[in-house]
Amino acid sequence: MTINNAILLIAGFGSRLKPITNTTPKCLVEVTGTPILINTLNHLAEEGIKDVILVVGHLADVIETTIGNMYNGMKITYVHSEEYATTNNMYSLWLVRRYLEQGTLLIEGDSFFNRNILTRIMQTNPAFSYWAGDRFSLFKEGCMLTTGEGNHIQQIQIVRESLSDYKDNYHKSAGIIKITPEFGKQFSKWLDIEVQAGNTNIYYDLVLAKYIEGSTPLFVCPIHGMKWIEIDDHDDLQKANELFTPETSSKTILKREVQIVPIDTLKPLEKVFPNHLSNLNNLLLRDGFVKAPLLVDKNTGIVLDGSHRYIFFLMHGYKTVPVQ
């Protein structure tokens, strides 16, 4: 089945982005000059989506004035959540369950991403539902998807603290799900059960966590190495602006491109300490690369590194670094 509509959940206040969100809806906060919502709508139009349903609440009038009833050839429908101050996104989704039951792209309003993520999830098997998931690694928190064989989702949980181990089948939700009509109808029933029970102030992730079983046709669509970020607070916003700032010539001129290979016999593997990864992450965000690889074979240009550096580069999809 071809997906023609998308649901965007943008009713929330965005309290962790105050004072910006006192006067600007969270979905209209800008990343490198582009509002989060505009970025999403542009990508949806490029992927051929015809109808977009916006669940609005806080500063809804600002959103409607900014977007209008048509955007880039797409029909825009507004559904107002009058209870946005006391409910969570599961309630917003419940309000538009009739669209959910038609099959849809469900997108959270705080996710800023490149178009290739939508392209990939739209190309998945139309018979099943897919949830865009990145590697769940150190410094990530939020919704974690644990998969079994074939990226079949077996467990969903909200993670707020560092884990004792980070496994290959742990995935971080990017807040984008392609939902078939069949799964949408089942999801709608689960939402209705929880709303009738008064459980409206929870994430929709936790509704799914409660009801999915091993046979539920919900899979992870891997987006490892693709560019995206979830923007919850000012720190996230700063990272987003750094991540999506176009590279300057000073960041792209490398003396030499080299291959990174793990050589764990060179020295014992080091433990992955949070401060190591934090420092590396800051260097990458600031400069676009790590200036001083730990060990480099000057004859071949191959980085000899079986430590935390190599692990970090793998997690973030980097294949080359500069040789100084």
pLDDT digits (tens, 9 = 90+) for 242-289: 889 875 433 333 333 444 444 444 343 334 445 555 555 555 555 554
Cα(182)–Cα(204) distance, integer angstroms? 17
Cα angle: 142, vertex 138, 270; to 5 degrees: 165
Q: Tell me the residue type at 14.
A: G
Q: Residue 297: in which H helix or E strand, if any?
A: none
Residue 159's pLDDT is 86
308 band by pLDDT with thresholds 50, 70 and 90: very low
Delimit the domains of the chain by residue range: 5-240, 247-315
- For residue 93, pLDDT over 80 is answered with yes
Band of the pLDDT at 50, cuts 50, 70, 90? very high
pLDDT at 255 (0 to 100): 33
Tell me if residue 150 falls in helix, strand or coil: helix
Residue with tokens 């742990």: 170
For the chain, percent of residues with pLDDT exceeding 90: 60
Per-residue pLDDT, averaged over 130-138, amounts to 86
Spatial contact of 28 and 62, defined as CB atoms under 8 Å apart: yes
- Mean pLDDT, to the nearest integer, of 87-108? 96
- How far apart CA 9 and CA 163 sit, in angstroms, is 29
Cα-only R_g, the chain = 21
Please tell me which residue, 255 or 316, carries the higher pLDDT value. Answer: 316
Which amino acid appears at position 251 of this protein? K
Q: 137: Cβ–Cβ under 8 A, 6 or more apart, which residues?
A: 166, 172, 315
| CB-CB contact of 180 with 126 (8 Å) | yes
Predicted local distance difference test score (pLDDT) of residue 117 = 95
Any bridge partners for residue 145, and if so which?
A: 156, 171
**Which pLDDT does position 313 carry in this prediction?**
52
Q: Which residues pair with 76 in a beta bridge?
A: 52
User: pLDDT at position 215, please?
Assistant: 76
CA 257 to chain centre: 29
pLDDT score at 180: 96
| Residue 120: per-residue pLDDT | 94
pLDDT of residue 312 exceeding 70: no
The pLDDT score that the predictor gives to residue 135 is 86
76 phi and psi angles, rounded to 5 deg: -110, 125
* Mean per-residue pLDDT of the chain: 81
Output the pLDDT for position 299.
52
Average pLDDT over residues 37-48: 95
pLDDT at residue 322 in the model: 39
Contact assessment for residue 230 and residue 142, using Cβ atoms and an 8 Å cutoff = yes
Spatial CA neighbour of 318 closest among 296, 300, 303, 299: 303
Q: What's the rounded Cα separation, in Å, for the pair 288 and 303? A: 17
| CATH T-level fold of 5-240 | Spore Coat Polysaccharide Biosynthesis Protein SpsA; Chain A (3.90.550)
Q: Say whether pLDDT at 225 is over 70.
A: yes
pLDDT (0 to 100) of residue 139: 58
More confident residue, 269 or 204: 204
More confident residue, 195 or 278: 195
Query: Tens digit of pLDDT for each residue in 137-146?
Result: 765 778 999 9
